[in-house]
Structure 1
Amino acid sequence: MADFTFHHGGVSVPSLDEAIDWYGRVLGFTVEKRFPIAAARAQAAMLRKGPLRFELFEVEGAAPLPDDRRHPPSDLKTHGNKHVAFRVADLEDFLIEMAAKQADIAFVVREAFGKGCFLRDCAGNLIEFVEEPDG
């Protein structure tokens, strides 16, 4: 079987500059590089935080994110990619930090199967954060 590792997640946003600011201010990502994608009529940026990468696209004439894609339970009712998820050491500490940064906390899960939350970025895209016990 071919060997591979995760490289990045990507989202389309209405304003590349606003999204770069949000991902930097709220989640601590920095710009690794910016580049045009002529075939898609897009401007893009690869963001990085340690080994994590996230790609943002501002595409000319793109449609806004539909409302049902902004809430995790309703988003699951549409086929396709749903979100990327990052691991956090302590969900409660993470939620306090995100509230202090006025992040849009879309949904919090505290169930027997696990704990986590979803944030909406500045364009409404969902990003999941999971507290997973070691071991």
Structure 2
Amino acid sequence: MSLHRAERLSGDHVIFPGVTDLALRRYRAFLQPVGRRPLYPRDAQCPCRGCSPDDVRHARDVLDDIMPQRPVRARSELSRHVARLDSVPRTRTLPDPSAHCRQWHPERWWRRRLSGGSESG
């Protein structure tokens, strides 16, 4: 099944055609400031499904949600690519000790990181 078809046929309201590319571009943009300063995800300004990937945590949710809907080979390729990207925020974001009380999907590591303010640190 092609990516476009998986996105189109998904029953998830946040998955739509083109959202995987949008989420990958957003995730890469979040990781762009090179350096050692901490990164802080910011909330999306608009909650609609087209704008919500502005919140890099939502973009990462989309990537996690689309993976099981991909064929094995494509899933493995996307999974490896996302794992390489994940290495940056794992080291440049800070743990949020209260995330389990505030966050949707607190079991996802990227939802347990401090957020707010400027993403550039």
Please give the TM-score of this superposition, normalised by the length of structure 1: 0.26
Normalized per residue, the structure richer in strand is: 1
Please give the TM-score of this superposition, normalised by the length of structure 2: 0.28
Higher CA-based Rg: 1
Structure possessing the higher relative contact order (Cα contacts under 8 Å, 6 or more residues apart):
2
Normalized per residue, the structure richer in helix is: 2
